């Protein structure tokens, strides 16, 4: 079953992508939730027209995302956490903490666009992936230190 995505869906695709999904997933979840529409010939024509009109706007958004990625590449964030005698962290380092630390540096990134790739269990240096745009992805370095 072919559908046109109305929003970005992690693991499936980005807004205005034409994707192939299983019929039950499309009929019972994507379409009723408003995340997608059925890819009929008329909807495909509407999609093509929308893409043409949005090309200039999309280029501007991509340029802004690249500028933010350049700022992020230069940073190393310091995340404070409670650490025990053995060096292990009590609790977790979350994407919300990374998003807040970026906001303190003047960079606004939604926490849902940040993914911590490896488990953060002790103090030290780590990396997280930041998906700023469909074509702009970067990684952010952060150091976990004792509070």
Reported confidence tier of residue 118, pLDDT bands at 50, 70, 90? confident
CA angle 136, 141, 142 (to 5 degrees): 135
Q: Cα–Cα distance between 137 and 21 in angstroms, integer?
A: 25
What SS3 state is found at 56? helix
Q: With a threshold of 0.85, does the pTM exceed it?
A: no
pLDDT tens digit sequence for 66-114: 888 888 888 888 988 888 888 788 888 888 999 999 999 888 888 888 9
């Amino acid at each position: 079953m072919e559908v046109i995505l109305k929003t970005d869906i992690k693991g499936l695709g980005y807004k205005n992508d034409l994707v192939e999904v299983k019929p039950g997933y499309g009929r019972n979840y994507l379409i009723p939730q408003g995340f997608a529409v059925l890819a009929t010939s008329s909807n495909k024509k509407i999609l093509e027209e929308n893409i043409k009109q949005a090309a200039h706007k999309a280029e501007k958004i991509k340029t802004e995302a690249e500028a933010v990625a350049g700022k992020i590449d230069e940073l190393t964030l310091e995340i404070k956490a409670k650490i025990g005698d053995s060096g292990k962290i009590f609790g977790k380092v979350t994407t919300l903490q990374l998003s807040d630390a970026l906001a303190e540096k003047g960079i606004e990134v939604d926490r849902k666009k940040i993914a911590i790739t490896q488990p953060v269990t002790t103090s030290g240096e780590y990396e997280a992936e930041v998906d700023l745009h469909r074509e702009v992805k970067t990684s952010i370095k952060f150091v976990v230190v004792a509070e």
